[in-house]
Homo-oligomer: A and B are copies of this chain.
């Protein structure tokens, strides 16, 4: 029997609209403060339907993050190019991601990680294994210095993200991305490759 009887899984845009409502609600309020009931209301749907589709709140969160976050394609772009401008490329990549729709999902993870334990673990593992080791680590020549230099680079990225997307402090929140690239790129570059007296040696 190829086709079974019964109602076709019709109108699948309900599932999709729940996902979208979840993504924006999680991004806005973080994991804990985003209630399933609020998500359901935002999708104009019964709360129980959310469970029907996604099971638990954790699974809904993971489903929300699963689609948009896929660093596999972006990272090579950041690595490709002259070494002296790697700093600028990293900043530009971060801003591009966070200004895109996928950035909403990233913001959700980030905001949640700051107040919830298991989402924090999620973010930490993702950042360490995917971003720091895989991307930034490649750009640092001396392996012994890689952990500290990667962490310092992360410092710069977090430094933009928090004021610009989480706290929305002006003039950073509405600054043109290229201005931030010009401002922060050299600092990132310094952490990647310049000698750091007082830190190493």
Across the interface, A155 reaches (CB within 8 A) one of B113, B179, B184, B199, namely B184
Minimal beta-carbon separation of A172 from chain B (angstroms): 5
User: Number of copies of this chain in the oligomer?
Assistant: 2
Q: Is A171 an interface residue (CB 8 A)?
A: yes
Q: Which of A2-10, A76-84, A119-127, A134-142 contacts B (4 or more CB under 8 A)?
A: A119-127
Residues of B contacting A160 with CB < 8 Å?
155
Residues of B contacting A38 with CB < 8 Å?
none
Looking at chain A's contact residues, the main secondary structure is helix
CB atoms of B198 and A178 under 8 A apart: yes
Interface string of A19-57 (1 = CB under 8 A from B): 000000000011011000000000000000000000000
On chain A, which size bracket covers the interface? 35 or more
Across the interface, A198 reaches (CB within 8 A) one of B115, B182, B196, B199, namely B182
A137 to B175, CA, bound (A): 19
Interface residues of A (CB under 8 A from B): 29-30, 32-33, 111-116, 120, 123-124, 127-128, 147-148, 151-152, 154-160, 162-163, 166-167, 169-172, 175, 178-179, 181-184, 186-187, 190-191, 196-199
Given contacts A113-B167, A187-B190, 10 further A-B contacts (CB under 8 A): A114-B166, A123-B167, A124-B167, A151-B163, A151-B171, A152-B184, A154-B169, A158-B159, A159-B162, A181-B198
